[in-house]
Amino acid sequence: MSLTCKLRDFFFPRINILREVGIRPGFYVLDYGCGPGSYIVATAELVGESRRIYAQDIHPLAIQMVKKISFKRELTNVETILSDCKAGLPDNSMDVILLHNTYNDLGDPDGVLEELHRVLKPGGILSLSDHHMKENQILSKVTNKGLFKFYKKGKRTFTFLKEKKAFTIPNQSIRQT
């Protein structure tokens, strides 16, 4: 997987994708399903040293690779999270969440979207890219619970904005007397 990502990153530099997302200095970013850390260095360049990047993955080897990259590059603003769903971050704390090449592999995609909605700031950006899914699948699955609204499509990413939490009213039977 690591070799494949390195080849991909050579031909399609991650910085170009992150510029499409709109990450700016001062942002707090969660790279959900960070894998071997392809986005870590480029994200660190964009947010600056005063802000944090959280790299979350379910695989311990992925977390080790991110730690190794952070150490080699002396990135002091990267924190890793080993978890399958819960980020353990405060509510409304992230400006941007990257969900790149991960969504199709999630065991509980609705639970993950709930968690991402919880940690994303109001009006925050969810950037999704998944070459295993068709555009209409991405749009319907991310927006169907009312947690995110579609904002724009870039060359390689879909941008969604956090919506206010949707409320569901249970069906009630109404009796006439």
Smallest CA-to-CA distance from 103 within 80, 135, 81 is with 135
Smallest CA-to-CA distance from 23 within 40, 44, 46 is with 46
DSSP-assigned letter for residue 165: P
Instruction: For residue 7, list its beta bridge partners.
Output: none
C-alpha 45/C-alpha 25 separation (Å) is: 8
C-alpha 55/C-alpha 172 separation (Å) is: 43
pTM: 0.86
34, 56 contact by CB (below 8 A):
yes
> Looking at domain 22-162, what is its CATH homologous superfamily?
Vaccinia Virus protein VP39 (3.40.50.150)
Phi/psi at 106 (nearest 5 deg)? Answer: -70, 135
In tens digits, the chain (177 residues) has pLDDT values of 555 655 555 656 678 888 899 899 999 999 999 999 999 999 999 998 878 999 999 999 999 999 999 999 999 999 999 998 899 999 999 999 999 988 988 889 999 999 999 999 999 999 999 888 899 999 999 999 999 999 999 998 999 999 876 544 444 443 333
120, 97 contact by CB (below 8 A):
yes
